[in-house]
Structure 1
Amino acid sequence: ANSELDFAMEYDASRASNFIAQGRYPDTIRTLVLDTGTMANVSYVAIPYNANNPAGAMILANYLLSPDYQILLTDPNELGWLVAIDPTRLSDDEQTQLAAIERGIATLPPAELNSHALPEARASWVAPIEQGWEENVLK
């Protein structure tokens, strides 16, 4: 091995740009999406039925889904994630803030990423996918 990277897969849309900024990747790295679709989803927020403090959990859930927090998480200096809420429902000011974030040289625009996103896999697929992963990749 000569420390060259030809192809890598990453779930984080901003990872390549973040690694370029850290000096871990050369600035020639670029990202792509597949023409037939790309896996994409967001983290989910749920309140367990037996939560000790459902009201407090609701406050936290509301904050995690708030435009302010979502915009913060989009910043590559934080996590560089895509927003988990519909950006078209943001106020004009919030949309301006979101559009102003410099995502980095190798990060595709959110509109391009979203236009290639596939829907969530069916729950019935999870067990066979995990089994195939364990049998064919982890061994």
Structure 2
Amino acid sequence: MPSRPDPTPVRAAARNAAVLAALADTVLILAFAAIGRDAHQRGDVITGVLSTAWPFLAGAAIAWLALRVWRGPLRVWPEGVAVWLGAVALGMVLRAATGQTVVLPFVIVATLSLGVFLVGYRLIVAAAGRLKGRRQLR
């Protein structure tokens, strides 16, 4: 009877990719909040960044759960786009619900910035994977 290949390394790699992608999303959303707070010279660095970031972190987390992003955490479509739009849309709803500022210029900046961050690194990973694949074919 032929033995089956051990799926453990594949599962571990998938789990590691999901953890790294979730960590990258978190760090990039925190960076977005920190950059924005610094640009507006606001005090309370740590609590201020967390106060700004939490609605977007919650929106991204909800997108991760709703779409099971861990199954393809580094894919641009639909996972990366869903995390981006979830972070922005749900983040803005949560900001409004908690009395934080939601004005059109901020919505535009957040949409563009988070798109570059959350979709951008996934595009880079995808391009690197294609490059690696082409090199292996040679």
Q: TM-score higher than 0.5 here?
A: no
Normalising by structure 1, report the TM-score.
Answer: 0.25
1 or 2, which has the higher helix percentage?
2
Normalising by structure 2, report the TM-score.
Answer: 0.26
